[in-house]
Amino acid sequence: MADRLRDKPVARENKNSGSSSGHFLVLYNDEINTFDYVMESLMEVCGHSSVQAEQCTIITHYRGQCDVKKGVKKELRSMQLDLIKKGLKAGID
């Protein structure tokens, strides 16, 4: 059960929590890249398991975006640039 909880997409907390590490790497949907490519990219760049990458890819497809990683802005920026280099749309919120 603990493994399943770890594989869930990142859940957003209340923005007013005041946490200094409360930034999110956001993946945006596009009509170019395949599900498999996006999943592979999330596993490589963000360290996602295959289950977590699949869940984030599906959420991104149906909702238009998904928070794929939470952390310090400086660390997320590196991941954002790596995803962009791979042709994905990503931002930091």
pLDDT for 26 beyond 90? yes
Q: Hey, what long-range contacts does 17-24 have (CB within 8 A, 24 or more apart)? A: 20/72, 21/70, 21/71, 21/72, 22/70, 23/70, 23/71, 23/72, 23/73, 23/76, 23/92, 23/93, 24/67, 24/68, 24/69, 24/70, 24/76, 24/92, 24/93
Average pLDDT over residues 59-76: 96
Q: Where are the domains of the chain?
A: 34-93
Whether pLDDT at 91 is above 50: yes
Name the residue with higher pLDDT: 21 or 88: 88
